[in-house]
Each structure stands twice: as C-alpha cells, then as structure tokens.
Chain A
Amino acid sequence: MKLPFRLSIGRQHIPILATLAVLILVFAFGAIRHGDRNFASLYNIVSLFRGGAVIGIAAIGSTFIILSKGIDLSVGAVIALTTTIIAVLVSPQLGPGWHPAVVIPIALVIGTLFGTAQGCLIHFFELPPFLVTLAGMFLARGLAFSVHPQNIAIEHDAFHAMQSIGIPLGRSDVPLAVIVLLVFYAIAMFVSRYTNFGREVYTIGGDEPSARLMGVNIGRVKIGVYALGGLTAALAGVIATIDRGDGSPSEFVGYELDAIAAVVIGGTLLTGGVGFMIGTLLGVLILGLIRLIIDNEGTLSSWWTNISAGALLFGFILLQTVLVRLAKRSG
C-alpha cells in the first residue's frame, strides 16, 4: 500500500511521540481509575476540549512565537482586555451597545495591533521579547481595568445564540468553542508546515543570522508572529467571552504560563526552530486531563495540578535536553 505522503519517523519526532504517549497513558489511567464515572465517555472528551479551548487557541500564537525563538508573557492580560472590551461595547448601559458582529472584529483588530506593537518594539529596537511582553502584560491588564474595573455580565441575544450553537455528536453537542479550536489548529498546522511564513518562522528560530543571509525578511516574520500572537490571544478572549458570558478584567492570570507549558509539553523547543503545532494541542489536552483526573479523585486538592504540570514540564525539558545533546554528538 502506498501512502500519499512520506511516513518516516526520525529523531525530530521523538518529543511529539513522547507527548502522544503521555496523553494516551494519562487518559488510560483516568479511564481505568474512574471508569465507573464514565471518564472515557464522549461527553467527557468534548468537555475536555471545551475546557482547553481558551488556552489552546492562545497557545497557537505562543507556539509560533516560541518557534521563532521569542516568548509572549502578555497572553493572559490580552485575553482579559478582550473580554472586557467586548462586554463594554455590547452593553447598552456601559457602552454604545453595538452588535457583537461589529464588536468581535474590533476586539480582534485591537488584539492584533497590540501584538504588532510588541513585535515592532522587539524587532526595531532589539529589545528582549521577554521584557517587552512583560510590559505588554502590565499594560493590557491596566487597560482592561481602566475600561471597566469589575466583571460585566453580558445579556445579549446574539451571545445566547452563540452559546447554544452545537454540532450534535453522539449524545452530546460539540460547542462553538471546540469547533473554533479545531478549525484554527487545522489552519495553524497548515500555515506552519506549508506556507512561506511558516517555514520562515522555523528558519529564524533555528538560526537567525543564517536566515538573514538566506534572504528571509526577518522584520516581517518577527512582527508577524507577535501580531499573530495578539490575534490568537484576542480570539481566545472572544471564545472566553462567549463561553463564560461575561467580561472579566481580573481573570485569566497565569494563562501565559499555561500556554507556554502546553507548548513545551507539546515538544516544541523553547530555544526555537523545532516543534509541531499539533503537539501544543496535545499539550493542552494533557494539562486538561490532569486537571480532570485530580477533580475526579476528590481527595486530591487543586494544587496538585500545579505540581504535576511542573513535573511534566521538567520531564519534557529533560527529554529534549538529552535529545539535543545526542543530536550534537552524532553531528
């Protein structure tokens, strides 16, 4: 039988295979241990995707940024800013009361502009990404609070309609959040592997001086990944607003860390240039599964989530360090 594509497994696939193995193992553990509670039910799996949708969408941008050897610490704050802006703009009492069809694109544009500005500072003034996006985090959080200081519940028919969208699958519905998550991962996977932009991101992350010599427009790609990061963070904010039905300037603290953790657990090197988009989705699912198992245990408290996420992070970092060293040794 001939496959339409080459199926070869090389060393570059080891981290992602490890991620997949961990996902399967964690799922199997949950399914066996909590089989009496229908752990492996379709409903549970859909809710797993749903729970990971916001971080998952934001992590798309983080993956591109990390592949280009950067980092984005502003994700959580941009999500909070987006939800607040949407909630204020659709509210007739607090804002102009515009229709979500107008407001959502505005929110996406604001997020993209925010990311673009960060990218420009990083590229034109050669500032460390870490510091720029840190300032971006403070700025976005502060802006969110100055837009409106408290949570705003959204009462809008269009939002109720979007909340009830669902593709029936078995006895459960696949909600809008999951559809958007899957569609955008499909797009992101395509962009990262089959477009010039995607290849250039890998090239810059792998070796920037070489990329420049090869004629890659460094500025365009660098600013592009941060713009993309702003866009996906804003999109995550839109999904969060629809899913939760409110705008919340104080929430989503630490989402940037979860996104980075998902990227690393998904097998992408934080040193840039190596990794797969799908790995990040697997990473998000692993983190969600751990949370689900800990919830199901009942006796285990929520802080075990942090500890096990840290342990997983450590395991994958160690695995990658070993692999990178092996690769160097064999030349």
Chain B
Amino acid sequence: MAESSPMRFIPPALRPLTWPLVALGLLLLFNVIFTPGYLHIGMVEGRVSGYLVDIFRDGAAVMLLAVGMTLVIATGGVDLSVGAIMAISAVLAASMVTPEWNEANLGAWTNTLMADHIGVWIAIILLVSLIASVLAGAWNGMLVSVFKIQPIIATLVLMVAGRGIAQLICSGRIFTYDVPGLEYIGKGTLFGLPFSLFIVAGVVLATYALTRATALGLMIESVGDNDVASRCSGVPVRNIRFLVYMVSGLCAGLAGLIESTNVSSANANQLGLYFELDAIFAVVVGGTALTGGRFFLGGSIIGALLLQTLTNTMYAQEVSPEIALIPKALVILAVCLLQSPAFRRRVLGVFGAGKPSKSRAKAGGAA
C-alpha cells in the first residue's frame, strides 16, 4: 500500500503519520481562516501565549497518557484504568495539602512540616502520588503478566474500583487548595513556556531514548508481535509486560497531578474521566495498531495534539463541550476508517485512488 501513487513522495519514516498530519494540517488551516489571530504568539506577563501554546498546554495530560499507552498497546495490551489512576494521584496530592485531612489521617506533625518546610512536603507529596500510581500500574501488570488475564478485562477492574478508592482517600470531598509550589506543576511558567510542557518533553525524550537507543523498544514490540516466540528467544516477556503497565501508571500519575494542579482542586468523580479513551485514540491515530507489535511514539503525540486541537477549535468556535463530542466522534471514525485496510480495499479502491494499489489489493484479496 505504501508504494501507491501519492505515498511514494513521502519519506518512509513519516508514512504512518501521514493521515494524522493531514488531519492536523486541515484543522489548523480551518482555524487560521476562521479564528482571528490564531497563529499569533505574544508575550503576556513574561509568558508566551496564543492559541498554539494553549494546544500544547491543554493537551499535556493526554500526551503523557499517550506515552504510557503507546508502550502498553505495543505489547498487545490496553490500559483502561489510566483515568482512575489520574484521579487517585490527584486526590492524594490534594488531600495531603489539606491540613484537616493530614491531622485526621497522618498526624499533626505533617502540618508542622508543611508549615516549616513546604518544599520538602511537596516533594514527599509528589513521591507518594507517583509511587501510588506506579503501584496501581503494577497491579495491572501483575494481573496481565502473572495471572495472564486479558488486558482489557484486567484493567477494567481498576477502572471500576479506582474512582471508589480515590473517593475513599478524600472521603468523597472535593479539596481545593492554594499552595503555589504544588500548583506550579500545572500552572507554572518556565522560560516563558508552561512548565507542564517540560514534564511532557522530559517523559517523551526519556521514553524515546530508553526504547529506541536500547533494545527495550524492540523487546516490547516482540512481546506484542508474538509472546511465545519472544519467550523462546530469551525476551523477559513477563517483566516487559509488568514494566509497560508500571510506566503507564506513572504517566497517568503525572497527568493527574498536572490536570488537578492546573485547577487547584481534585474531584475524584470527574478528574480524568474518559481520558483513557482519548489516550487510546491518540495512540491508534498515531499509527500504533491495537494488535500490538509496533509503536510510533511521535505518532501518539501527534494524535494527542490532533485531539486537543479539535477540542480547542470547538472552544474557539464557541461550541458547547457536550456538542463538541459529535465532531470528535466523527474525526475518530474518519481517521480509523482511513487507516483500516478493509476500508481502503472496499471504498478507496472503488474511487480508483491509486490504480496500482487497486490491482495489488485485489491480488492480495484473492490470495
């Protein structure tokens, strides 16, 4: 299919990203035409601002989730629990900066520590939240790798129970806080750019380096491609599976912290709701097949940006968030259809999109 007429002008490395990039380009074009000042990037109070920066800032959480989800999907799995893990991590952080919660659950000494050394306490909070997220990921990893439960079912357990656990932590209350040090994660500005972007960039680069500069990426893909063959060739299948779910948990924990510190509160019921679906969509749009065996980290990031651009476009056009679900659904379906080999064979073939590929597809279908 890649040799068909339009595709041969595109470098092979970018081919899986063609359709998402085209969709992103069209969306941006639409915005440039219909939203005044869309491309304008200015400085307001020492920070870079503009529609394009907003996309990156608002999309930070989904980009992070997409990183973890890419690795999980590459092993042939899926992680439905990331939204619930986001809620757990966010609620833990929000609870631990609430003096009455600390007094009731941890003891009065924590409040003295918070008053005297807020930096140390914030470090402890981040550590606790992220460790809890990694543990949640490890639970998923255990179900999938040790108990050999199908990933979609294994992670469903935490998806259902996770929000209950988050509500258990905060007794169903919604804590709001005013702790600039903690809020810096979601709202802060570094070198004029949103601080959350540096977290995303750090996670993406670290993951890229770990998977593409070492054999880890290859092992992850081999597990997704054929786990029996991988085990026979000495790939530590069980540990790899464990690892990807823990990474996904960690990414979800970070995403939860960014989302909740951005609004200085944590709602166990609402925070991160349906984010797992956005993350999975970002990954699939980015060219990583749900069947596993191959992954494109850059594609997932583009997928996440595509989703966020769409959402922000709706906001700019003053479409209510609920009705914005309709174009979102249509874009999801369109991109999935364009990537489906069966759709290309059945529909695009009829329109003669690339005559050489038509005959080849027919030959393939007959064989």
What residues of chain A have their CB less than 8 Å away from a CB belonging to chain B? 71, 121, 124-128, 130-132, 134-139, 141-143, 145-146, 149, 249-250, 253, 257, 260-261, 264, 270-271, 301-307, 309-311, 313-314, 317-318, 321
Q: Is the CB of A249 within 8 A of B322?
A: yes
Taking a contact as CB atoms closer than 8 A, the residue among A142, A301, A314, A317 that contacts B325 in the complex is A142
A-B contact pairs, 10 of them (CB 8 A): A125-B346, A126-B342, A127-B336, A127-B340, A138-B326, A139-B330, A145-B323, A249-B322, A305-B164, A307-B165
**The 5 A-B residue pairs with the shortest CB-CB distance in the complex, in nearest-first order:** A310-B161, A306-B164, A142-B325, A142-B326, A303-B167
Expressed in whole angstroms, the Cα–Cα distance for A135 and B156 within the complex equals 19
Q: Are B346 and A310 neighbours in the complex by a CB distance under 8 Å?
A: no
Residues 299-341 of chain B: 1 if any A CB is under 8 Å from the residue's CB, otherwise 0? 0000000000000000000001011111011101100110011
Whether B159 and A257, one on each chain, are in contact in the complex, defined by CB atoms closer than 8 angstroms, is yes
B157 close to A310 (CB less than 8 A):
yes
A138: chain B residues within 8 A (beta carbon): 325-326, 328-329, 332
Is B152's CB under 8 angstroms from A130's CB?
yes
- Which chain A residues border B343 with CB–CB below 8 Å? 125, 127
Is there a chain A Cβ closer than 8 Å to B16's Cβ?
A: no
Write out the residue numbers on chain A whose beta carbons fall within 8 Å of the beta carbon of B268: 303
- Assuming the contacts A135-B329, A142-B324, A306-B160, asked whether A317 and B337 have C-beta atoms less than 8 A apart, the reply is no
Smallest CB separation, A65 vs chain B (Å):
14
In addition to A127-B340, A142-B325, A270-B150, 17 A-B residue pairs with Cβ atoms within 8 Å of each other are: A126-B342, A127-B337, A134-B281, A134-B332, A135-B333, A142-B323, A149-B322, A257-B160, A261-B160, A264-B153, A303-B164, A303-B168, A306-B161, A310-B157, A310-B160, A314-B161, A317-B154
Instruction: Decide yes or no: A121 and B333 within 8 Å by CB, A139-B325, A307-B161, A321-B147 being known contacts.
Output: yes
Given contacts A138-B326, A139-B330, contact A131 B281 (CB under 8 A): yes
Q: Known: A145-B323, A261-B160, A310-B164. Is A125-B340 also a contact (CB below 8 A)?
A: yes
Smallest beta-carbon distance A13→chain B, Å = 21
> Are the CB atoms of A139 and B329 closer together than 8 Å?
yes
Is residue B205 contacting chain A, with contact meaning CB distance below 8 A? no
Q: A125, A131, A139, A321: which contacts B290 (Cβ < 8 A)?
A: A131
A132 with B333, Cβ < 8 A, contacts A139-B325, A311-B161, A321-B148 known: yes
- Chain A residues with Cβ below 8 Å from B277 are 134
Most chain B Cβ neighbours within 10 Å, of A131, A136, A249: A131
- Cross-chain contact A124 with B346 (CB below 8 angstroms): yes
B interface vs A, CB < 8 Å?
Answer: 78, 147-150, 152-154, 156-165, 167-168, 171-172, 268, 273, 277, 280-281, 284, 290, 320, 322-326, 328-330, 332-333, 336-337, 340-343, 346
Roughly how many angstroms separate A94 CA and B107 CA in the complex, as a whole number? 57
Q: Check B337 against A125 for contact (C-beta < 8 Å).
A: yes
Among residues of B, the one whose C-beta sits closest to the C-beta of A250 is B322
Chain A residues whose CB sits within 8 angstroms of the CB of B342 once the complex forms: 124-126
| Chain B residue contacts of A125, Cβ below 8 A | 337, 340, 342-343, 346
The smallest beta-carbon distance between B26 and chain A, in angstroms, is 19
Minimum CB–CB distance for B80 against chain A, Å: 9
Cα A236 to Cα B268 with chains together (Å): 28
B171 is contacted by which of A121, A301, A305, A321 (Cβ under 8 Å)? A301
Contacts A125-B343, A317-B154, A321-B147 given: A139-B326 contact, CB under 8 Å? yes
Output the nearest chain A residue to B165 by Cβ-Cβ distance.
Answer: A307
Q: Which residues of A contact B159 (CB under 8 A)?
A: 257
- CA separation between A143 and B172, bound complex, in Å? 31
- Chain A residues near B161 (CB, 8 Å)? 306-307, 309-311, 313-314
Q: Are B329 and A136 in contact (CB under 8 A)?
A: yes
Contacts of B160 in A (CB 8 A): 257, 261, 306, 309-310, 313
Q: List the A residue with the shortest CB-CB distance to B169.
A: A303
Q: How far is the CA of A36 from the CA of B332 in the complex (A)?
A: 53
Q: Are B332 and A135 in contact (CB under 8 A)?
A: yes
